[in-house]
Each structure stands twice: as C-alpha cells, then as structure tokens.
Amino acid sequence: MNYFLTEEQQFIREIAAKIAREKILPVRARLDESQEFPWEIVKVLAESNLFGVYIGEAYGGTGGGVLDLCIAVEELSRVCGGIALCLAATALGAFPLVLFGNEEQKKRWLPDIAAGKTIVAFALTESGAGSDAGAIQTSARRDGDSYVINGTKQWITNGGEAGVYTVVAMTDKSRGSRGASAFIVEKGTPGFEFGKKEDKMGIRASATRELVFQDCRVPAANLLGKEGQGFIVAMKTFDASRPGVAAQAVGIAQGALDEALSYARQREQFGRPIVSFQGIQFMLADMATQIEAARALVYAVARAIDAGEKRIAKESAMAKLFASDVAMRVTVDAVQVLGGYGYMKEYPVEKMMRDAKITQIYEGTNQIQRTIIASNLVKEEAARKGA
C-alpha cells in the first residue's frame, strides 16, 4: 500500500529494513538469551543517522518528526522489538528536551543524541508510582544553584546504558502532581547509581534497570521548563512518544505475520500446505487486516503531531491501545499457526509474543489509555453541548 511517504521517509524505511535484515536478524536470538545490550546495533543506527530522524537540523538531526521515528522503529521491530528499543527509548528520553528544553540545553545535549553518541532514558516510574504518576516519592530540593535529588526509579528502559536521563522528581510534595519537576541528570553524576537489572519475559536485549539517587546534586540549569511543570512535561512527552510504542507493536505484529505466512506455505498436513486450509487463511487474513488498520492509525496520529496538532492525547492513546492489542492478538495467533513449532525457541514467534506483551503495559497500561480516551470524549461532548 502507498502510505504517501516522502522520499526521505522511504529511505528511512529502506535503511531500517536493511539494518534489521542484515545486522539484527543474525544476533536477535543470542541477545534475547544473554540479555546483552545491543551496542553493536547502536553503532550501526548511529552511522545511518537514524537516531536523529525526529531532531531538528539545528541540533544535528535530519529535521523529520514523529512519523519518521515511527517508520524506523516499526521496521526494526519487525525483526526484534527488544533491540529496536535502543532507538525508541532514546526518543522517549529525548522528547522532554525537544519539547521543553531551552536553547542552551538543546545545544548541549541534542547533537550527541542525534549522532547516536549518547542514548537517553526517561525516568518517571517508581515502585509505588506507575499509573499514578502523582504518587512520585523521589524528591528534588533546591540548594543554591543546584537541586539535590533523592529517591529510586524503577523499570527504566535503557537504564545503566544511557548517558543522559530525564528524571521527574517532586520539588513540592504539598502540591501533588503540580509539585513535580523534570531534570536532566548525566550518568556519572555523584550520588547517581544503578540498582537491580531486571530479568524480563520479553524485550530482553533492552536494559531495564533501577536508578538510585542519594544526595545527587545537579545544576539548577538542568531543570527542564519551570518548577512544577514535571507532570506536564511527562504527559506531553507521552503524547509524542506513544505512537512510537504503537509503531513497535505494529512492527512486532508484522514480523509475526511474516513468519506465520512463510511457515504456512511450507508446512504440509494431509498432503498439502496448511495455507490452503480455510481455517488458516481466515486467521492470516484477520491478522493482516488488523495490522493494516493499526499502521494506518499510527501514521495518521504521527502526521497530526508533526503538523502541530496540540490536543492529541486522545488519538495518541488510541494508537498505542489499538496497535498493542493487535500485536498481542497477532503474535498469539502466529504461535497457533506454527502449532508445536511456534512454542519452541527455535522459531521466533514465541519471542515475538513475549515482546508484544510489554507494549500493552509500558508508557501507560492499556487500561490507562482507555481512561484517557474516555475522559477526552467526555470533555469534547461537554464542549459541544456548552456544558
């Protein structure tokens, strides 16, 4: 199908697909097993300028946007959703800088991010503050020209590997979510250490780690936006980044369909390929249709963001919700198509099913996405009725 991509976007798709086939495919099983971070792939992505596709030309990027990022993430995830996260999670961590950074901050950090010299992580979640972001306990106290951060962040993608972290902490707990602020913290800052590295079901080539802050002093110049804007920074970041999760989900689903279709054409039962059986045909047809619908929604939302649409929370949540649910259904069906072989690690669909599950959970569970969608529907209806 023609997705009306620009020549630059077509090139991004082609180079990402080439990297996925030639560089990621040979190592995905090994890295999934060993949980080794894919630094060799980071280097290849950097050399191909894919880390800068959503960053402005003034800061070393290619001047694209969210759609460019989604295209790259989708193609990489088609082969390995876990390895693709080194790019997608860096974008999540960089979006606060892109959206709220001042000129000095952008010039200091974005060029190295765009060049792939520095990967980034976004640190919001804590053990008692996942969906309830207002329950954050990590604190940041102003002390002269610095802020002193104390607390622990949990399940941070790229944790321990990233060189730059955007961290949300409470500067005034009495104000609830309005007392949160966002900071840039560099790896190696005294008082900033790494705790437990998680042993995960899926996306095992991606590092997920605990961040520990003990009297970690960062310059006041590292504050993103203003004090009290941390929750806004986080929510606006998610509005821009959730299509990236959705693209990851679409890529994983497409990869699973690719494997299921290839297997069904080769596997014979009762003297003929199983793809000739109507039951299998209907499964494949439903899988393909769901993927196409998810991709169309993701691209539409990404284009709206790139066009400057400000009120995008509902649509961004829809893209993440729909695409991740599709990825889960499609990967489960792909395992079913392969039967007993699908359950074996020798074939990649069991890994794709494991990888797909997290897309329904991180950057806001799908229950939270439904809450966001419903609350926006109510607001829109009230505005129409003048209530």
Strand partners, 272: 269
CA distance readout (Å), 3 to 9, 13, 71, 255: 10, 12, 11, 19
pLDDT score at 333: 98
Cβ neighbours of residue 1 under 8 Å, at least 6 residues apart? Answer: 292
Residue 203 is classified by DSSP as -
9, amino acid identity: Q
Query: Which listed residue (292, 363, 380, 381) is catalytic?
Result: 363
pLDDT score at 243: 98
pLDDT score at 387: 63
pLDDT score at 385: 87
pLDDT tens per residue, range 248-268: 999 999 999 999 999 999 999
What stretches in the chain show pLDDT beneath 50? none
Kindly report the number of other CB atoms within 10 A of residue 173's CB atom. Answer: 11
The overall pTM is greater than 0.95? yes
Asked if residues 59 and 104 have their Cβ atoms less than 8 Å apart, the reply is no
pLDDT tens per residue, range 332-356: 999 999 999 999 999 999 999 999 9
Residue 51 is classified by DSSP as G
Domains belonging to the chain, first-starting first, are: 7-118 (1.10.540.10), 121-228 (2.40.110.10), 231-381 (1.20.140.10)
Structure tokens at 121: 């992580």
Distance, CA of 178 to CA of 195 (rounded, Å): 28
Asked if residues 182 and 222 have their Cβ atoms less than 8 Å apart, the reply is no
pLDDT score at 349: 98
Quickly list DSSP for 167-190.
EEEES-GGGGGGGEEEEEEETT-T
Annotated catalytic, 227? no
